[in-house]
């Protein structure tokens, strides 16, 4: 009897081992038919002897570089996002006032209202590199766009090419309204409370265009594209130089670090055009007296027509004011706009 029990136990044990063997280590079946060979890849660029293949990446993609970028960006108006709540969600404004709106615009999508807009951030302007051959193609900084850009309000198109990353700035830093047009009567009804080129006419000021050219003014208007800051510098040259010690100027703060300007302005760096503050104050006083602006400089809607040249004077005042460079972007042009406006209203 004991032998029968032992034999039964051994048979059960043997069958268990066979089960484990069959389930954990199956016998391979016949090999399938081989697939079609894939297309050969493109040969990569030969590396440089003795140089790490990621050296060009590490130049930017490293902790110390990114920390400096972030620290300066936090001091910028873009990061502050002051207009996001008001304008960032509106379909006509979101293009420049929210991260989502700008990406829609730059990728060719229609302007739509943004339900939960967020402030401009790194990924608003930067996406992915279009090339890694920086030596031959130039460094694109992974910007979404570095292409020459046509201004919105020009016909035929007025295309600007600053030749560097500054082209990305043109998308937003341009007027949204045009200077007044004479209907032949010499009079003008100023019925728009937003009678100015909006808040970003920096590009057109730098170009020397879209101000109101008042006939008969004794101060000559310079030719377009003649400003030294247009021909010998660019947005990124002046606004993205080496950062100040506290990070409030330079690099991604977009605030000018005037120490960087000394290489060109060897006799001292001006922060405003000489005499511009006085001329702007005088013009403001005249426009205030005429009831065209209020104490804060806001335009006042008119119920009766005003002389067309007076409307041009108002436009020029708002253009220079909204440029925020105090005439520095284009000194000769800014001076002509304001001097000729003063002649009209005084």
**Cα–Cα distances in Å, from 30 out to 27, 104, 206, 285?**
10, 53, 74, 94
pLDDT at 299 > cutoff 60: yes
pLDDT of residue 9: 55
Enter the tokens of residue 133. Answer: 């051959």
Structure tokens at 66: 């990114």
Mean pLDDT of 60-65: 88
Give the model's confidence band at 230: pLDDT under 50 very low, under 70 low, under 90 confident, else very high.
very high
Of 279 and 33, the one with more pLDDT: 279
Rounded to two decimals, what is the model's pTM? 0.82
pLDDT tens per residue, range 32-54 = 888 888 888 888 766 665 556 67
What CA–CA distance (Å, rounded) separates 317 from 196? 9
% pLDDT > 90, the chain? 73
Res. 232: pLDDT tops 80: yes
**Exposed e or buried b for every residue in 114-139, given b needs 16+ CB within 10 A?**
beebebbeeebbeeeeeeeeeeeeeb
DSSP 147: S
Measured in degrees and rounded to the nearest 5, phi and psi for residue 245 equal: -60, -35
SS3 196: coil
């Amino acid at each position: 009897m004991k032998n029968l029990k032992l034999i039964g136990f051994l048979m059960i044990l043997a069958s268990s081992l066979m089960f484990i063997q069959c389930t954990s280590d199956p016998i391979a079946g016949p090999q399938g038919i081989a697939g079609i060979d894939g297309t050969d890849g493109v040969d990569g660029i030969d590396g440089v002897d003795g140089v790490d293949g990621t050296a060009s990446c590490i130049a930017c993609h490293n902790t110390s570089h990114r920390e400096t970028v972030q620290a300066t960006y936090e001091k910028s108006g873009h990061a502050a996002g002051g207009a996001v709540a008001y304008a960032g969600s509106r379909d006509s404004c979101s293009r420049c006032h929210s991260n989502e709106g700008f990406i829609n615009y730059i990728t060719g999508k229609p302007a739509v209202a943004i339900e939960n807009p967020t402030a401009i951030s790194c990924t608003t302007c930067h996406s992915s590199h279009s090339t890694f051959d920086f030596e031959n193609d130039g460094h694109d900084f992974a910007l979404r766009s570095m292409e020459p850009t046509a201004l919105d309000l020009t016909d035929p198109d007025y295309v600007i090419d600053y030749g560097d990353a500054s082209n990305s700035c043109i998308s937003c830093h341009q007027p949204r309204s045009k200077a007044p047009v004479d209907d032949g009567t010499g009079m003008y009804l100023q019925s728009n409370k937003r009678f100015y080129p909006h808040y970003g006419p920096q590009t057109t000021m730098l170009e020397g265009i879209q101000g109101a050219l008042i006939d008969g003014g004794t101060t000559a208007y310079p030719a377009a594209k003649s400003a030294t800051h247009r021909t010998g510098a660019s947005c990124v040259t002046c606004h993205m130089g080496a950062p100040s010690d506290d990070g409030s100027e330079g690099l991604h703060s977009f605030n000018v670090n005037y120490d960087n300007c000394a290489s060109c302005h060897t006799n001292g760096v001006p922060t405003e055009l000489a005499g511009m503050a006085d001329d702007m104050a005088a013009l403001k006083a005249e426009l205030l007296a005429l009831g065209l602006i209020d104490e804060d400089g806001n335009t006042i809607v008119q119920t009766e027509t005003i002389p067309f040249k007076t409307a041009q004077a108002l436009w020029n005042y708002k253009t220079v004011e909204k440029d925020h460079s105090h005439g520095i972007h284009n000194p000769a042009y800014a001076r002509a706009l304001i001097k000729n406006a003063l002649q009209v209203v005084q």
